[in-house]
Amino acid sequence: MSKKEIGNYTIERELDQGGFSKVYLARHNVIGENVAIKRIRKENYEKDKIIREVKLMQSLDHPFTVQFFEFMEDDNYYYIVMEYVRGTTLLDLVNHSGKIPEWKIRHIFVELISTLQYLHEDLKMAHRDIKLENIIFDTYGNIRLIDFGLGNTFQQTDGILQTACGSPAYAPPEMFLRRPYTNAADIWSAGCVIYALATNTLPFDETNAKLLASKIVYQNPTYPEELKPSLVELISNCLNKDSSMRPLPQDIYKYEWVSVYPNSQLFSPEFGIAEGWRNPTGNPLVDETVVEELNHYGLDSSKAVDDYLNGNFTADAAGYRILKRQKVTFQMERLYEEADISMKATIHRKQHLSLTPNVLTPIRRPSPNTRNKFSFGKAMNPVTGVSKFSATVKLSNRMNSMKPKILALSQLPAQSPQ
């Protein structure tokens, strides 16, 4: 498929692949910017499912969520065109960076919670697959949350969801118990992420699916002595077995460990609006500098703006969205630089995502064939600018090597929660 054209894009190379789809690096033929194109074979994917995923992605408008650009199809394939994120995943960071500085962990976590606050409050959406693999750094050290294939809205369900899904090592107890759950499941998963960043392992470490479920339902994680009590307090509350006792995103900012983050603008539910990095919900605004760029490239800026304002994801509007995301990504560079108050004002870009030699045994990535009704990780990263993992990679926390299946309550060992 090298150099094949799809719509206004030329395929450059394959980035990743799974059982039913492949992801390609492509280039916009006029603008010249890179995008990621996810190609899905029609015969292997229900149309209702792909349309649902596309609609969820189209609703996203936040600096830290992957940007959707365009949807196309031909006789054999569906194509999802989206932002190409050039950085590394958090899984790579944990596996290759040794001990991660506390300020960087805090920076990642605050941006993740800002994203969840937007999803939960503005969109009434649960992501349902928060994990290290689904969080990627951009060029400047800020995150993108990707893979909304399991996302779901809950406007019509009073906040209650039923389908058990996600990756087992990040799944909350209520899913293993087959109980209805809320978006508090995302907070549990976020707790697993910050635990992994702080300790280089996941809170529940077990290769056997049944034992993993038992640990998650009945046991509490252990915390290394070197972790600050304020961080342990935060993690333990996110990992509360009682979902109703987990903090809401807006409450997390009040925790001592989080509150020292130097850029408090991220604590606001309206973060990014004043800066022009996102629109007020339901009220798209036009960036005139982007319109000028469209004109510079000889594109139909009038048609692009009309389609954009009407919420249409046409080829013309894709040009506007690509240029706008490029501008936002560049402007957000300062967020990373400001995250550590001890850092100098100017940091060379290449230092942002530098990886030190691996000094710890890495966390495993799920096998490509481990996704079922309880979706234990997709067979591919839908947006990736990182090197592919070998299926035989050595793994430390042994969290996802099994071919897991969801366990009913009757399959769990009979014991009382601790």
Exposed / middle / buried, residue 289 (Cβ in 10 Å: 0-12, 13-18, 19+): exposed
DSSP state of 2: T
Could you give the residue numbers annotated as active site? 129
Strand partners, 11: 26
Q: How far apart are the first and last CA of the chain?
A: 54
Continuous H helices in 200-244: 209-218, 229-238
- The answer to whether 9 and 26 have CB atoms below 8 angstroms apart is yes
| Those residues with Cβ within 8 angstroms of residue 390's Cβ, 6 or more apart along the chain or in another chain | none
DSSP letter for each residue of 280-306: PTT-----HHHHHHHHHTT--HHHHHH
Structure tokens at 167: 């990756």
What gap in Å lies between CA 380 and CA 388, rounded to an integer?
9
Block residue for tokens 């600050």: 228
Angle between helices 102-117 and 184-199 (to 10 degrees): 170
What gap in Å lies between CA 411 and CA 344, rounded to an integer?
54
- The answer to whether 101 and 340 have CB atoms below 8 angstroms apart is yes
What gap in Å lies between CA 139 and CA 119, rounded to an integer?
23
DSSP state of 263: -
What gap in Å lies between CA 21 and CA 332, rounded to an integer?
31
What are the φ/ψ torsions at residue 66 (nearest 5 degrees)? -60, 140
